[in-house]
Homo-oligomer: A and B are copies of this chain.
Amino acid sequence: MGISYLLRRAVQIRANHTALIFRDRRQTWVEFHDRVVRLAGGFSALGVVPEDRVAVIMDNCDRYTESLIATPWIGGVVVGLNVRWSINELRDALREAGPKLLILDDANLEVGRALGSELGIQTIFAGEATCPDHMVGFENLIATSEPAADVGRTRQDLFTINYTGGTTGRSKGVMLSHGNSVSCALSGLADGLFTENAVYMTAMPMFHTGGIWPFVSCMSSGATTVLLPGFDAENVLKTIQAEKVTESLLVPTMIQRLIEHPKFADYDTSSFTQILYGASPITEALLNRALVALPHAKFVQCYGMTELSPLAACLHHENLIGKNREIGRHKAAGRSIAGVEIQIVDENDNPVPRRTVGEILMRGPNLMTGYWNWPEETAKALKGGWMHTGDGGFMDEDGFIYVVDRVKDMIISGGENIYSVEVENIIAQHPAVQSCAVIGIPHEEWIETVHAIVIPHPDATVNAADIIAHCRAKIAHYKCPRSVDIRDEPLPLSAAGKVLKRELRVEFLAKAGAK
């Protein structure tokens, strides 16, 4: 049973209920359906057949959402690319995914057109300005196309490819099936999220599963989604007040910016009663401030990852307050949602007892089918049929899991996953660099930021600004180091010759504290 069924049901039960709000454009479920099936007809006329990829480089908007559903309607696979990526990163992903169409908005027009022309991909203009030459106009496509029939995808068929940072400098395309997405949507409902009267606000980008999952969930219950093009704290406050937003998934950095906004108190946020947060841990200080600033709201932590479509565990509000808080339950990442199985294992994948730290493994109907064109990485990640999350943690006697360490060498900055090795590979390409290491360091707003330690060649000189500029030319800004230490002593190594990152972090913090 595919995504298309969810849309048909939304039309059956809530034809005239608002489906989407984007700026001053609103559409009901029946209007959304009618646009989607015509758009699907247009894609079809442009040659898209089942299994074909359709890539999107756009900020959130109604047309993004329409593309997300129109593509699988005719059996295609949506490839949403990160708008913050560099042209090199976008090129690599487009080459790998090989899409038949590339959909662009105003903000991503220039880079997208260049890549489309370079790689010979038909581009579609879904922006607000006039459609440029040699591009197909999105609205024109809808206006002139016949509705397409639903090709009827099954549970196993591919729905999206979502790129995540790669451990080897190459991004991994996470393949999520229709079944993955539908089961994750229903699990959300089973956990009390996205109920039919919700007015859900999407501040997370639609190229993330954190943006896709809530929309698919709202489609499954017939709820309303308000799309924001990006996160602007005052615009979020305005939108909550104007649309009586009830629910949103935010990363802790966003919650902080929201409640610390100087005009926070000027807006009526009383409708905003369910706040999902995830992607990175929330500090105790921020949680306390948020509970005070938004007294009507229930907070629900969502733990997961792209490979899990993304939801795998939830920590409900009652664990953040009162007696549960006294026993430290607010520090948990959550409890497996109904439908998802968790195991904590040792280095041989054997289960460990409760409260013993090990790697967190997960499986369930939300588990990806694999990484696009990458069987070796797929086999490694899914060894024994379980997703190896790379998070170290333990489980308490009530099934709550606590994340205590990352087994994988990854930094989470403002909700974005950054693999250290990807950044290290870029820095190492600088001619003056002999060796380097990248670590995450604490940051008040972004939780962590990227810090590089660089050892130059004996005969070379290089400074922090050089390294940062070098990285910015090659990878997305959010992945680039925000600070760089140039040093002469060699990096601390383990007996096996591995860089001891933990020691580097301790060194950094000691120096930072000494200042």
Contacts and interface: CB of A to CB of B under 8 A. Distances in A.
A157 to B, nearest CB: 15
A404 B186 CA distance: 30
A85 interface: no
User: What band does the interface of chain A fall in when counting residues whose beta carbon is under 8 Å from B?
Assistant: 20 to 34
A342 B12 contact: yes
A398 B14 contact: yes
B190 A13 contact: no
A395 interface: yes
Interface in A1-37: 1, 5, 8-9, 12-15
B190 A395 contact: no
A189 B337 CA distance: 11
A399 interface: yes
A37 to B, nearest CB: 15
A397 interface: yes
Interface string A428-453: 00000000000000000000000000
Interface string A167-182: 0000000000000001
A381 interface: no
Interface string A340-366: 011000000000000000000001110
Given A1-B365, A341-B1, A336 B186 contact: no
A338 to B, nearest CB: 5
A82 interface: no
B182 A339 contact: yes
A187 interface: yes
A13 B155 CA distance: 28
Interface in A137-165: 155
A335 interface: yes
Contacts of A301: none
A221 interface: yes
A395 B12 contact: yes
Contacts of A155: 365
A502 to B, nearest CB: 30
A339 B186 contact: yes
A16 to B, nearest CB: 8
A220 B9 contact: no
Contact of A338 (B8, B189, B335): B189
Contacts of A399: 9, 12-14
A397 B339 contact: no
Nearest to A220: B338
Contacts of A190: 186, 189-190
B13 A335 contact: yes
Nearest to A342: B12
A8 B340 CA distance: 11
Contacts of A187: 186
Contacts of A338: 9, 185-186, 189, 220-221
- Pick the most buried of A8, A155, A365: most chain B CB atoms within 10 A of its CB: A365
Interface string A182-198: 10011101100000000
A363 B399 CA distance: 34
A182 B340 CA distance: 11
Contacts of A186: 186-187, 190, 338-339
Nearest to A196: B338
B339 A13 contact: no
A402 to B, nearest CB: 14
Contacts of A363: 1
Contacts of A365: 1, 155
A368 to B, nearest CB: 15
Contact of A8 (B339, B341, B395): B341
Nearest to A222: B399
A9 B398 contact: no
- Pick the most buried of A1, A190, A221, A395: most chain B CB atoms within 10 A of its CB: A190
Interface string A99-136: 00000000000000000000000000000000000000
23 contacts: A1-B363, A1-B365, A5-B341, A5-B364, A9-B341, A9-B399, A12-B336, A12-B342, A12-B395, A13-B335, A13-B336, A13-B398, A13-B399, A14-B398, A14-B399, A186-B186, A186-B187, A186-B190, A186-B339, A189-B338, A190-B190, A220-B338, A221-B338
Given A1-B363, A12-B395, A15-B398, 18 more contacts: A5-B341, A8-B341, A9-B336, A9-B338, A9-B341, A9-B399, A12-B336, A12-B342, A13-B336, A13-B398, A13-B399, A14-B398, A155-B365, A186-B338, A186-B339, A189-B338, A220-B339, A221-B338
- Going nearest first, the 3 A-B pairs with the smallest beta carbon separation are A13-B399, A189-B190, A12-B399
